[in-house]
């Protein structure tokens, strides 16, 4: 063991002394380090350094600032483990950059175990759409305010759905990472207690063939056996209408006007649409807090509108009898029982979805109203050589070229969606050109390695 390795071991013992004392391993660990210090180094250097680390002497704080790890929350099983996967992929790439990464599995170890981190310093604490940041240490203090270091909460939907997480969050050094430029502005305006918000979309991954998977050429890989795939679920918007109809008179009146407005203004964000509705109703004098809370109260309208247009796109595809492979139980609903062109498959895990993208010539994406955002689905399509067909966003327009890297569909021309799909399906040369171009750009923009580098840039800038 060289001197640097010895120092790290001593630091880890001092940092985790309480945990090792509870599990009964502290004395054994300390004895081994004392013996090593005596044998490999002088007692004055080795044992004295160990004593500083255990006692949290003046030298400990200096070393702690240099060596403290990044704390990463894992274990979330939502959406077949998508968020857990994001955390693990990011952790791997942060480690590759030379960072010490400590993972805490919220599912296995529970929220109560977070108390062990109180008083400790981390270079950063990172969680994905978790209620972990809302855990209280007391009635008046959040646990994460007792943890030293910036806290980064990656949110993967419009902030209207995240109000509770954003309101019940640490008061100090709490930051948000999100995938849409509009959401950055929304949080900056309507959640001023958040110290900073940054555009950091989730990333994609390339499918890694398992042993024995190979192309006809003999190279590792999977064949393009699907013409068109859609890895998205179906939601019947009608099931959400009672929530609007049961609202009180005042809120319900706004909600119904908002619903009508958004159905006819498909290019607007939710906040833009509500601002126009309130202006028309003569209620434009709401405070930012009142506006934010009103949008939260009428958020069922947002889900209805998203689901309505997804249904209309699929209806157009079915009417044109364009074959599309769909996945999951949501497509077994009565509305599409007779749609022979929808070829149904079982639910997919995140890893299975990568394989499907790698096996797809073309893959359809319908944005969940991310008007300026990027999603992991699009990144996965591009990184697995599937032609991406999607409604556009500001991020796509600024980072890729329509017709060269992806094909655009429009909510303003839903009847034209089948034509876009048919034309590219019939042009194999164009498919190959678009897939190749998108892949080359995405591998330099949309991987977890890229995201890890960006997050470290943010951490370093905050620490300056």
Per-residue model confidence as pLDDT tens digits over 179-237: 999 999 999 999 999 999 999 999 999 999 988 888 887 788 899 999 999 999 999 99
- Strand arrangement, sheet containing 342-345: 342-345, 324-327, 226-230, 360-365, 387-391, 407-409
Q: Which of 45-49, 141-145, 163-167, 227-231 has the lowest mean pLDDT?
A: 45-49
Mean pLDDT computed over 96-110: 94
8 A C-beta contact, residue 207 and residue 279: no
8 A C-beta contact, residue 247 and residue 343: no
8 A C-beta contact, residue 187 and residue 210: no
Secondary structure (DSSP) of 337-404: TT-TTEEEE----HHHHHHHHHTEEEEEE--SS-TTB--HHHHHHHHTTPEEEEE--HHHHHHS-BTT
The span from the CA of 272 to the CA of 282, in Å, is 15
Provide the pLDDT confidence category of residue 392 given band limits of 50, 70 and 90: very high
Instruction: For residue 166, give every residue at least 6 positions away whose Cβ sits within 8 Å of its Cβ, in sequence order, or none.
Output: 155, 159, 176, 187, 191, 194
Residue 44 has pLDDT above 80, yes or no: no
Going from the C-alpha of 79 to that of each of 6, 33, 419, the distances in angstroms are 42, 44, 32
pLDDT at 464: 56
8 A C-beta contact, residue 239 and residue 306: no
8 A C-beta contact, residue 51 and residue 12: no
Domain 68-203+450-463 has what CATH class?
A: alpha beta
8 A C-beta contact, residue 345 and residue 368: no
pTM over 0.95: no
- Give the other-Cβ count within 10 Å of 108's Cβ: 9
Q: What is the CATH architecture assignment of 226-236+305-446?
A: 3-Layer(aba) Sandwich (3.40)
pLDDT at 120: 93
Q: Which of 89-93, 190-194, 335-339 has the lowest mean pLDDT?
A: 335-339
Element holding 291 (H helix, E strand):
helix 288-297
pLDDT at 218: 78
pLDDT in tens, 273-310: 999 999 999 977 899 999 999 999 999 999 999 999 99
Mean pLDDT computed over 171-179: 97
The span from the CA of 238 to the CA of 334, in Å, is 13
The tokens describing 34, both together, are 């004392």
Work out whether strand 342-345 and strand 360-365 pair parallel, antiparallel, or are unpaired. Answer: unpaired
The span from the CA of 250 to the CA of 243, in Å, is 14
pLDDT in tens, 351-384: 999 999 999 999 999 999 999 999 999 999 999 9
8 A C-beta contact, residue 458 and residue 151: no
pLDDT in tens, 394-419: 999 999 999 999 999 999 999 999 99
Provide the pLDDT confidence category of residue 41 given band limits of 50, 70 and 90: confident
Burial 271-305 (b: 16+ CB within 10 A, else e): bebbbbbbeeeeeeeeeeeebbebbbbbbbbbbbb
pLDDT at 448: 98
């Amino acid at each position: 063991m060289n001197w640097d390795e010895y120092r790290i071991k001593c630091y880890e013992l001092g940092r985790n002394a309480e945990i090792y004392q509870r599990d009964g391993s502290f004395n054994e660990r300390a004895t081994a380090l004392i013996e090593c210090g005596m044998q490999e180094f002088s007692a004055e250097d080795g044992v004295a350094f160990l004593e500083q680390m255990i006692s949290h002497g003046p030298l400990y704080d200096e070393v702690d600032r240099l060596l403290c790890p990044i704390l990463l929350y894992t274990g979330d099983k939502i959406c077949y483990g998508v968020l857990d996967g994001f955390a693990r992929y990011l952790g791997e790439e942060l480690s590759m950059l030379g960072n010490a990464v400590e993972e805490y599995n919220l599912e296995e170890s529970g929220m109560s175990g977070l108390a062990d981190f109180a008083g400790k310093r981390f270079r950063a604490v990172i969680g994905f759409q978790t209620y972990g940041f809302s855990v209280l240490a007391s009635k008046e203090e959040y646990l994460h305010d007792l943890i030293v270091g910036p806290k980064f909460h990656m949110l993967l939907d419009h902030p209207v759905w995240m109000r509770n997480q954003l309101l019940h969050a640490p008061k100090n050094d709490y930051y948000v990472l999100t995938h849409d430029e509009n959401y950055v502005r929304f949080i900056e305006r309507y959640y001023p207690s958040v110290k900073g918000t940054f555009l950091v979309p989730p990333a994609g991954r390339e499918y890694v063939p398992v042993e024995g998977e190979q192309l006809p050429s003999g190279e590792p890989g999977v064949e393009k056996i699907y013409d068109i795939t859609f890895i998205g679920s179906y939601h019947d918007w009608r099931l959400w209408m009672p929530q609007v109809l049961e609202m009180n008179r005042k809120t319900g009146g706004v909600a119904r006007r908002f619903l009508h407005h958004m159905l006819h203004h498909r290019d607007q964000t939710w906040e833009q649409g509500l601002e126009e509705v309130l202006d028309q109703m003569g209620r434009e004098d709401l405070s930012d807090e009142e506006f934010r809370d009103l949008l939260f109260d009428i958020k069922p309208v947002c889900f209805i509108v998203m689901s309505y247009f997804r249904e209309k796109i699929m209806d157009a595809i079915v009417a044109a009898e364009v074959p599309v492979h769909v996945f999951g139980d949501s497509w077994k609903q009565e509305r599409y029982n007779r749609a022979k062109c929808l070829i149904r498959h079982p639910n997919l895990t995140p890893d299975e979805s990568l394989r499907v993208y790698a096996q797809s010539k073309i893959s359809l994406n319908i944005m969940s109203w991310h008007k300026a955002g990027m999603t992991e689905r699009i990144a996965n399509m591009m990184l697995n050589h599937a032609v991406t067909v999607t409604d556009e966003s500001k991020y796509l327009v600024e980072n890729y070229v329509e017709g060269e890297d992806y094909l655009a569909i429009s909510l303003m021309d839903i009847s034209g969606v089948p034509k876009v799909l048919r034309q590219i399906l019939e042009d194999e040369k164009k498919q190959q050109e678009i897939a190749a171009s998108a892949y080359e750009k995405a591998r330099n923009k949309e991987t977890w390695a890229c995201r890890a580098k960006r997050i470290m840039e943010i951490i370093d800038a905050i620490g300056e």
